[in-house]
């Protein structure tokens, strides 16, 4: 398995706005070959820190997603958020190979 986490820090007063964007996400990634799961995590001690946690069967599946036209379209839309405080946030992406379960 392959896990990708995108961590963002937003002002605490904007955390719920970002949560709602993910609650209402397009879910197009869910249909991608090799996609297993999506979770949005909120740090209980730092509520402005949110982590998108995705699990894939293999790294190749994830790479196919991030080079797809659908991925590009969705991430272009993110740049056009009406809320400029959220539009300018850049995630820290971490990638992991699962070595044991």
CB-based contact 52:38 (threshold 8 Å): yes
CB-based contact 6:51 (threshold 8 Å): yes
Architecture of the domain spanning 2-97:
2-Layer Sandwich (3.30)
CA distance between the termini of the chain? 10
pLDDT > 90? residue 85: no
pLDDT of residue 81: 65
Q: 27-79 pLDDT, tens per residue?
A: 999 999 999 999 999 999 999 999 999 999 999 999 999 999 988 888 776 66
Our measurement of the distance from residue 30's CA atom to the centroid of its chain's CA atoms, rounded to an integer in Å, reads 12
Min mean pLDDT across 14-23, 66-75, 78-87 is at: 78-87
Report domain extents, the chain.
2-97
pLDDT of residue 79: 63
pTM of the model: 0.87
Q: In this structure, how many other beta carbons lie within 10 angstroms of the beta carbon of residue 16?
A: 13
């Amino acid at each position: 398995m392959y896990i990708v986490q995108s961590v963002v820090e937003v002002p605490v007063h904007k955390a719920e706005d970002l949560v709602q964007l993910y609650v209402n996400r397009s879910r197009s990634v869910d249909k991608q070959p090799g996609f297993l799961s999506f979770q949005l995590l909120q740090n209980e001690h730092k509520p402005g820190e949110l982590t998108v946690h995705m699990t894939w069967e293999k790294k190749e599946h994830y790479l196919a997603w991030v080079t797809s036209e659908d991925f590009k379209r969705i991430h272009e839309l993110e740049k056009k958020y009406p809320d400029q405080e959220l539009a300018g946030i850049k995630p820290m992406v971490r990638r992991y190979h699962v070595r044991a379960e």
